[in-house]
Structure 1
């Protein structure tokens, strides 16, 4: 059906972006989402780009799942459909940007322009006054196709500070809110970003409620609700995932404090294709649930390495299914868990599964991140890398990932028996057919047949 013949959905929608990282985007987005919830409204929140930790926090603040919107990793059709579905039920949509507004290709600005999202420019104005207005005006005029709804001045210390900024702003760029520096709103961080929401749930609730009360005094939510709505149409280009492609396949998914970097969209796709999901904890469980395939997602195994190493029954169970050739996907933290040993930030070395030769070690603040695609035998799947560790003494890789915008080889991708392992975090909806083949073990079947032929 053509877009013009399909009922549209409309509601106020905004992209919250900043000139740089560290301006308080997640803090303000979470506080605004909670303020809207307090008002009895339905708010849907999205996060620009690949991210696991910010969405966990935002989901708790908004009371609903938060998905990534990335034009390269997920595709325009996917993003368009998610926004359309959200607009059908939401009173307001918030999209948190990534990095600086114009940083990256595609950037947060590209996302805003593609879907007609007005921009809420958030700036930490500590140490400047009229200069903040000059920077905001520069952002407003950098692209003619970008619509700025206004400025949110974060860290605005006094009423006089606010007046100096507001007086210097062009009349076409209003100051929507000024927010004082308030540590009670700030969100705690760790080496890959924010602390996981599940670890500090009660503390986050206190911060959300306080942040919402601060924003209530500014009237920001009321101003945004009065803004003209954005009209969203369903995507006409999004292909339907192959129904029943994973019918009869039970996938065991590791999920606990050590393995939690899981896109809800990945889980939803597996279920949509007919898979049965069974969750287990490598930290606490002593055996696997009955399963046909297994997924070890990323997370923070380095923070729980001692407990992972000590859980010998689980390690034995995982080695058993590995040697049977079960299809297994290990991403980033899951990949480190599969190695022979892992050295944590304190320099302590812990024995891991040992189903893949090699060692992993954390390496401080330096790391690797960026968009990459995995050219697997099952098909190419887009995703991203984000880690602050190194691996060495590993076997020759099956192949290397392809970087989005650089010719150098990306992350090494390993395949041993039914195990596919790398630092990459894959976004399953990019290529559902390839994901189905991976968890069905189509390539594993060929490998097992080859092993049988070799022994005849």
Structure 2
């Protein structure tokens, strides 16, 4: 491969599907595990905002997984991440988000802009001849998208696979079929719950599940393809020389930020940690579930996660509860996102009506909902710039705390009855909003107490 400072070449595939739930994560993780077992260096990325799928890809590849999104992350950073990965890896795998043409920008847009071939994964459990029609439509819908081929998922038998293959107008796009596993939703491999997949680090047999998926992939034409044939999917990754270099100053120099990190607080982007360190912060991690106390620190970040699944353990950690209360009383900053906000509240009410006590430091109660209560890309205008991120939650939070800001959908103005509230209570700032720190580092530094936060007047922007 040619290696220059401006361009790096690497085999790359974007794994996509017609819709969510087709098996993208399973196939991406299986590919990562299969290539890694062959001794190849693999780097995996995930399109869009997602915390859970990357845990599986990191375990499968042995390397940190970063998120890619043209809006939240920005295309200059997307190109820089892929350029750096191509300099180190033999294979780059990118898992799409939702369906190939869903959202804005879409996974198809990314593939077209960067010239990355698409591997289409389709749940063919209830299909025969229509399989070929859907594949043809996907190929022709956006003509500038490069294609690698199609992999049928959840196929019932070898005869079923033959029917699917025969339905294709172009036989060359057939890359094989994966047999149905479990109940038809890959439950034996990657189990799900209300916010998505169960994270790999929560399952003791996670690696065995990945190896099983890689074994299944090895029996397909894709898995049996010689490495020389993979080179047809080599892509040249270049930096965006015209893009401005992000300015990050040492706003957190000399400050220690304590980050909750365990199964209850696991929604952490590696890029967010990198951003904090780039601003000079010293990071210390603690586990509320392990009954750990709050480390000595200047600020606390409580990320999202699953406090509702671990409420009894969290409430039992009264030492940490007292430490957090003292931290707030001392006027030290707390930034609490989604699950972190719920944990600071008084209680979480389950769908069955049970009230689960929490730490009671932020006024408010949460109620679990049967359906999604918030979903999509969000932005928050504060401190002289735009902090980007997203929201995704199955609960409602009712609070008497002051609402000091409100998020809005990407590219839209703030509306008082839309978006997510940002609450302030003493030195606590909290919201359902999951922030992408590199989009506005100075605002994050302010949320963590480096300087006073300049809030936007919600009424003035409504």
Q: Same fold (TM over 0.5)?
A: yes
Give the Cα separation in 2 of the matches to 1:250 and 1:395.
26
User: Structure 1 residues 393, 276: CA separation in 2 closer, same or farther (over 3 Å shift)?
Assistant: closer
Report the alpha carbon displacement of residue 244 of structure 1 after superposing the two structures with TM. Answer: 2.7
2:380 touches 2:408 (CA, 8 Å); kept in 1?
A: yes
Aligned equivalent of 2:460: none
User: Structure 1 residues 157, 257: CA separation in 2 closer, same or farther (over 3 Å shift)?
Assistant: same
Report the alpha carbon displacement of residue 395 of structure 1 after superposing the two structures with TM. Answer: 2.7
| Aligned-partner SS, 1:256 | coil
1:253 to 259, 270, 278: 259
1:226 aligns with 2:231: yes
Give the Cα separation in 2 of the matches to 1:46 and 1:299.
21
Report the alpha carbon displacement of residue 229 of structure 1 after superposing the two structures with TM. Answer: 0.9
2:117 touches 2:233 (CA, 8 Å); kept in 1?
A: no
My pick for the range that moved more, 391-400 or 36-45, is 391-400
Q: Deviations over 1:119-162 (max 9, x none)?
A: 10110111212210110000100011111111111122233322
2:372 touches 2:392 (CA, 8 Å); kept in 1?
A: no
For 1:271-282, list aligned pairs within 5 A: 271-282=277-288
For 1:283-302, list aligned pairs within 5 A: 283-302=289-308
1:318 to 307, 313, 324: 324
2:213 to 211, 214, 233: 211
Report the alpha carbon displacement of residue 186 of structure 1 after superposing the two structures with TM. Answer: 2.8
Report the alpha carbon displacement of residue 287 of structure 1 after superposing the two structures with TM. Answer: 2.4
Give the Cα separation in 1 of the matches to 2:384 and 2:289.
31
User: Structure 1 residues 173, 433: CA separation in 2 closer, same or farther (over 3 Å shift)?
Assistant: farther
Q: Deviations over 1:31-50 (max 9, x none)?
A: 11100011000111011100
Give the Cα separation in 2 of the matches to 1:286 and 1:22.
37
User: Structure 1 residues 445, 123: CA separation in 2 closer, same or farther (over 3 Å shift)?
Assistant: closer
Aligned equivalent of 1:452: none
Aligned equivalent of 2:147: 148
1:268 aligns with 2:268: no
1:122 touches 1:152 (CA, 8 Å); kept in 2?
A: yes
Give the Cα separation in 2 of the matches to 1:173 and 1:109.
21
Report the alpha carbon displacement of residue 357 of structure 1 after superposing the two structures with TM. Answer: 1.5
1:415 aligns with 2:428: no
RMSD between aligned residues: 2.1
Report the alpha carbon displacement of residue 265 of structure 1 after superposing the two structures with TM. Answer: 0.8
Aligned equivalent of 2:377: 371
1:331 aligns with 2:337: yes
2:443 touches 2:453 (CA, 8 Å); kept in 1?
A: no
- Return the TM-score normalized by structure 1: 0.92
Give the Cα separation in 1 of the matches to 2:31 and 2:351.
35
1:326 touches 1:418 (CA, 8 Å); kept in 2?
A: yes
Give the Cα separation in 2 of the matches to 1:254 and 1:417.
20
For 1:18-57, list aligned pairs within 5 A: 18-57=17-56
User: Structure 1 residues 168, 283: CA separation in 2 closer, same or farther (over 3 Å shift)?
Assistant: closer
Aligned equivalent of 1:387: 393
1:245 touches 1:274 (CA, 8 Å); kept in 2?
A: yes
Aligned equivalent of 2:195: 192
Aligned equivalent of 1:451: none
1:441 to 450, 457, 462: 450
2:364 to 358, 362, 373: 358
Report the alpha carbon displacement of residue 172 of structure 1 after superposing the two structures with TM. Answer: 7.2
- Return the TM-score normalized by structure 2: 0.91
2:314 to 303, 308, 312: 308
Give the Cα separation in 2 of the matches to 1:231 and 1:267.
29
Report the alpha carbon displacement of residue 238 of structure 1 after superposing the two structures with TM. Answer: 5.0
**Dislocated runs of 4+, deviation >4 Å:** 405-408
My pick for the range that moved more, 86-95 or 408-417, is 408-417
1:13 touches 1:118 (CA, 8 Å); kept in 2?
A: yes
Aligned equivalent of 1:13: 12
For 1:20-99, list aligned pairs within 5 A: 20-99=19-98
Aligned residues: 442
Give the Cα separation in 1 of the matches to 2:131 and 2:454.
61
Q: Deviations over 1:376-402 (max 9, x none)?
A: 336421000010000114334001101
| Aligned-partner SS, 1:318 | helix
Give the Cα separation in 2 of the matches to 1:315 and 1:398.
25
Listed as ranges, the gaps of 5+ residues in structure 2 are 456-462
My pick for the range that moved more, 360-369 or 416-425, is 360-369
Q: Deviations over 1:155-195 (max 9, x none)?
A: 22233322222233123751012111123763111110001
